[in-house]
Chains A and B, each alone.
Chain A
């Protein structure tokens, strides 16, 4: 089954019709999705920063950014431009190489992970058959960058922040991976496309959230901890550690950290939407509806419509989760480091393990409902 628009296929076909060999046509196609991905991720960050500031303001009965553009939408752009023009300071006795490598190591894996986020049947940069595993693997590179940044800054706060970031990421990666594993077991595939496919067909009732309610919560808590969002923002707790590993950073390097954290938030929300909220699927099964009305699957306008609806649905779901994260930020107080590790090792790990075992048992008992 290969419904929907195949942009890559038609692009390469068009170039071949102009007389280019297949290899050259493919080489022309290659940079396009990458560029689109980087631009899309950056624009997504600008939107999230604006949303964060506006929603935070609303939750605190303020107005928020107002003068840069209509409703302050250009505020993140202004922030970014300011950071670009700031002086790039490397503190005395810091290790300049590690200090520079730190933010790069944090940002690049996050952007790379966008490779596996699907916005539609063929609207994905690469459909790897280890897709979701790639995301987990890449997300464990970031703490090395954080530790590098913290260690090389020649600052005790930075060092403590870096160590905390590493400890936090390591302890929350396991429940995250285990809850993803339960999903993978149900869909019999690591590919993000297959995971969404497995949830399709029954509209909102088919989404994994109903079959994995525990995994859903575990994943969200672990994802918040991985992104260092507020209930778990110990690595940069400003009351204790000034700004954690970011303390000595300014200008573009700080901007990279800032960008990385928000890209990571959007990415986690997107992956969350893919894993638990049916990815690009609409609330009602569209193909069944089209079938019922009597429109063929291959009708061009229907394909364009479902493709754009798919992108919109993915973004709507992801931004809904971002909204929840922002709301949580102003609701839940920060946990202490011992509470954080307690929650990670003594609660999340056993519960996610139990969830995995129960999923396996249910898969054996009810193969119809749990993807046998």
Chain B
């Protein structure tokens, strides 16, 4: 007799708890409705990529020594280095260089290991094309510099969250010259140099 009553009581309690949790969830959803949108209206507004952004790779033809380190460090040996040995100057002569960005995973190993710094990462990320073969960039295409978001008159550049001043999370309508939270790299460098003891004169 009492066990049935207890069962009913437990059942009622569980139903009440379920209702309570759904209510709590509803209040969370309702609270979100009065928050500002965090979206970026993409073709009209664009985020400024951070300085460590790994976008399309840039290549400087004249700096390359055809050492093929980029091919060796690449996870799938992607860069195609076409060179021939020039017997007169006893050096490798680079004919063609290409990277297929349809296959590249933008890990940045080639940029990291290039001995002559002829490879570098850009902030270009709009690589859409109608044919996947168009993503196979040759040395001319790799040598092009991307447009900067900040210089495009059609686009409102917006800062990423980490680059906003302290306490704000709204990139729209920032006052000009406002700086991100924390110290900038050059400030840190200046502080380190100021704190370092000045080199003493050599004592014999």
Contact = CB atoms under 8 A, between A and B. Distances in A.
Interface stretch (B33-41, B49-57, B85-93, B127-135): B33-41
Nearest to B31: A59
A330 B25 CA distance: 9
B101 to A, nearest CB: 30
Interface stretch (A60-68, A113-121, A151-159, A286-294): A60-68
Given A331-B22, A332-B22, A347-B15, A62 B28 contact: no
Contacts of A332: 22, 25
B22 A59 contact: no
B188 interface: no
B166 to A, nearest CB: 21
Nearest to B30: A327
Interface residues of A, number: 15
Interface of B: 15, 19, 22, 25-26, 28-30, 32-33, 35-39, 41
Contact of B28 (A57, A58, A217, A331): A331
Nearest to A351: B15
Interface in A236-254: none
A63 B39 contact: yes
A61 B38 contact: yes
A24 interface: no
A60 B36 CA distance: 10
Contacts, number: 35
Label chain B's interface by main secondary structure: helix
A320 B45 CA distance: 35
12 contacts: A58-B32, A58-B33, A58-B37, A59-B29, A61-B39, A63-B39, A328-B22, A331-B22, A331-B26, A331-B29, A332-B25, A347-B15
Nearest to A64: B37
Given A63-B41, A347-B15, A327 B26 contact: yes
Contacts of B36: 61
Given A327-B26, A332-B22, A60 B41 contact: no
Q: Which 9 A-B pairs have the closest CB atoms?
A: A331-B25, A58-B33, A331-B29, A63-B37, A61-B38, A62-B39, A331-B26, A330-B29, A59-B29
Contacts of A347: 15
A74 interface: no
Interface in A242-279: none
Interface in A315-372: 327-328, 330-332, 347
A347 B12 CA distance: 11
Interface string A48-60: 0000000101111
